[in-house]
C-alpha cells in the first residue's frame, strides 16, 4: 500500500493511484445500513444536495444498483471517490521514537514496529498505512491496520457501482481530521455518535479512542423508547467516566435529533458541539472525505 504524505492534519490512506484529475471532491460513507454521499466544488461549495439513503433491508446486489443509480443521477459514474472503513474494520497503533533516531535506524524501527503490529492482530492478509509525525523532541509513528478482505471488498463494491476509489481512510481518522479542520487546540476530546456506532477520542501527544455502546438508530426509527435510551446513555456515560473521557466536543448525526442531543448534553461532560455550516451533521464524515479529495496530491 502506498504511503500518502500528509498536510498538517493526520492523513492515513489505503490509496489507489489514479492518473485522471477530477473537478469535484467526492466523499462517500458506506455502511451495511446506509450510505452518505457529498461532493464539493473547487471553491468548497456543495455540488448537489448531500444524499443519505438507507438500505439495511437490501441484498448486496441491490445495494450496488442503488449506489450506481445515485451516482448516475448526479453525473458521478466513473468519478474518483474518497471513502473510509468503519471503526470495526480497522485498528490504530501509536509508537514513539526519539527525534535523534534518523536514517536507516529510524527505518528499521518503523519496520520492526509495523511487523509487530501486524503479528499482534493475526499476521495474515493484513494491509496497513502509516505516517510519521513530528512532535517536539519526539517522532510519532501512527499506523492504521485493516483486513485485506475489507479493503478489497469495499474497493470492488464501489467499482461495481460504476465509480473508482481514490483512497480509503479510517472512520476514527476522518473524524479526527474534521476536528483538526476546526482548529481545536490540543489536547481535545471528542464524542462522535451515529445511528449504529459511537466512539470517543482524545488527541494530545498521541491518539486514544474507545468504541462505545451508544447507538441512536433504533430510537430515531421508533424502535426504542425514552426509558431504554436513558439506560443506554447512562451505560455510555459509565464507559466514558471509567476511561477518563471528559470535557467532550459532541459531533455527528446525534446533533440532528433534539431529544437525544439534549439527553447527551445533560448526561455527558460536554464542552461544546462541532457542526457544519448549512450542512446537516449527518455528513461530517463524507464532507471531510470530500475536502480531503479536493486537496489530494498524487
Q: Which residue has the cell 424502535?
A: 223
pLDDT reported for residue 135: 65
**In this structure, which CATH number among 3.50.50.60, 3.30.420.40, 1.50.10.10, 2.60.40.1180 belongs to the domain 181-278?**
3.30.420.40
Q: DSSP label at 184?
A: P
CB 77 within 8 Å of CB 71: yes
pLDDT tens profile 98-148: 888 888 988 899 999 999 988 887 777 899 998 888 766 788 888 999 999
> 8 falls in which pLDDT band (50, 70, 90)?
very low
The mean per-residue pLDDT over the stretch 265-275 comes to 95
State pTM to two decimals: 0.89
Residue 14 pLDDT greater than 70, yes or no: no
Count of CB atoms situated within 10 Å of the CB of 67 = 23
Secondary structure (3-state) at 296: coil
CA distances from 20 to 16, 24, 39, 160, 237 (A): 12, 12, 17, 19, 47
CA angle (224 as vertex; 281, 214 as ends), nearest 5: 50
Residue 174 pLDDT greater than 90, yes or no: yes
The mean per-residue pLDDT over the stretch 177-191 comes to 93
Phi and psi at residue 94, to the nearest 5°? -120, 135
Which of 15, 48, 51, 52 lies closest to 33, judged by CA?
A: 52
Cis ω before 187 (30° cut-off from 0): yes
> 7 falls in which pLDDT band (50, 70, 90)?
very low
pLDDT tens profile 27-68: 999 999 999 999 999 999 999 999 999 999 999 999 999 999
pLDDT reported for residue 2: 36
For strand 164-170 and strand 138-147, is the pairing parallel, antiparallel, or unpaired? unpaired
Q: In angstroms, rounded to a whole number, what is the distance separating the alpha carbons of residues 205 and 279?
A: 31
pLDDT reported for residue 17: 52
pLDDT reported for residue 139: 84
Amino acid at each position: 500500500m502506498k504511503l500518502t504524505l500528509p498536510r498538517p492534519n493526520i492523513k492515513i490512506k489505503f490509496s489507489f493511484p489514479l492518473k485522471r484529475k477530477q473537478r469535484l471532491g467526492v466523499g462517500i460513507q458506506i455502511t451495511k445500513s446506509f450510505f452518505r454521499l457529498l461532493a464539493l466544488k473547487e471553491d468548497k461549495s456543495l455540488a448537489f444536495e448531500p444524499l443519505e439513503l438507507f438500505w439495511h433491508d437490501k441484498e448486496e446486489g441491490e445495494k450496488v444498483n442503488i449506489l450506481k443509480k445515485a451516482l448516475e443521477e448526479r453525473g458521478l459514474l466513473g468519478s474518483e471517490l474518497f471513502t473510509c472503513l468503519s471503526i470495526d474494520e480497522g485498528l490504530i497503533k501509536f509508537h514513539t521514537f526519539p527525534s535523534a533516531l534518523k536514517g536507516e535506524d529510524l527505518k528499521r524501527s518503523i519496520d520492526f514496529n509495523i511487523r509487530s503490529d501486524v503479528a499482534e492482530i493475526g499476521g495474515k492478509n493484513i494491509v496497513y498505512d502509516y505516517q510519521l509525525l513530528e512532535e517536539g523532541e519526539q517522532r510519532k509513528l501512527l499506523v492504521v491496520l485493516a483486513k485485506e478482505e475489507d479493503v478489497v471488498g469495499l474497493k470492488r463494491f464501489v467499482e461495481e457501482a460504476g465509480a473508482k476509489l481514490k483512497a480509503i481512510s479510517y472512520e476514527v481518522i476522518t473524524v479526527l481530521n474534521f476536528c483538526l479542520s476546526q482548529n481545536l487546540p490540543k489536547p481535545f476530546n471528542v464524542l462522535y455518535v451515529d445511528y449504529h456506532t459511537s466512539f470517543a477520542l482524545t488527541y494530545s501527544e498521541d491518539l486514544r479512542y474507545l468504541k462505545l455502546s451508544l447507538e441512536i438508530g433504533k430510537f430515531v426509527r421508533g424502535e426504542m423508547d425514552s426509558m431504554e435510551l436513558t439506560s443506554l446513555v447512562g451505560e455510555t456515560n459509565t464507559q466514558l467516566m471509567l476511561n477518563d473521557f471528559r470535557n467532550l466536543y459532541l459531533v455527528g448525526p446525534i446533533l440532528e435529533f433534539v431529544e437525544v442531543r439534549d439527553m447527551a448534553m445533560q448526561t455527558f461532560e460536554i464542552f461544546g458541539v462541532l457542526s457544519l455550516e448549512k450542512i446537516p451533521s449527518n455528513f461530517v464524515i463524507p464532507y471531510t472525505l470530500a475536502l480531503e479529495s479536493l486537496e489530494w496530491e498524487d
